[in-house]
Structure 1
Amino acid sequence: MYLPLYVEPRDVVEATTLMDTFGPKAGIEAAERAIKSRNICNHLHYCRWRQIERLIIMLSVQTTLGTIH
């Protein structure tokens, strides 16, 4: 699983908004938005929506990811 490499505060807000609006299907919504961006050749938005999709997955899991100090 690839975790977000770089996330801006607005991406976190977007991810939580999608999670509130679409519930468990928020990741699917982000993926569909990424596909739409790719289809119109907007690679910047495509990459951003893919990162948001990964962020939604990361925020949805019930376990700790990464190292614990």
Structure 2
Amino acid sequence: MPPLPYLDGRSVSDADQLIAAFGAHACAEASARADRSRDLGNHVRFCHWRQVERLIELLSVPGAVGTVH
């Protein structure tokens, strides 16, 4: 399991939009966007899209992740 992503409003919104637009392929699209940002030298956007990718992956896991109280 990858590390838990940092959640901010923009990451959640972008993940939601990718899931709506790409369905099961949303994680791959976030990865492609991260790669594109890295290739352009934009490390801030690269990190953003990697976090979105992790969030989408986390949302696909059935059941709770982490500490359950």
When normalised by structure 1's length, the TM-score is 0.93
Structure 2 match to 1:63? 63
Structure 2 match to 1:25? 25
Structure 2 match to 1:2? 3
Q: CA RMSD in A?
A: 0.8
In 2, Cα distance between equivalents of 1:41 and 1:68: 39
When normalised by structure 2's length, the TM-score is 0.93
In 1, Cα distance between equivalents of 2:32 and 2:38: 10
Runs of 4+ in 1 over 4 A off after TM superposition: none
In 2, Cα distance between equivalents of 1:14 and 1:37: 15
Is there any run of 5+ residues in structure 1 with no aligned partner, and where? none
Is there any run of 5+ residues in structure 2 with no aligned partner, and where? none
Map Cα deviations across residues 14-55 of structure 1 (whole Å, 9 max, x no partner): 101101110111000000000000000000000000000000
State whether structure 2 residue 40 is matched by structure 1 residue 40: yes
Structure 2 match to 1:50? 50
Deviating more after overlay: 45-54 vs 8-17: 8-17
Partner secondary structure for residue 64 of structure 1: coil
Q: How far did residue 61 of structure 1 move?
A: 1.2
* Structure 2 letter corresponding to 1:3: L
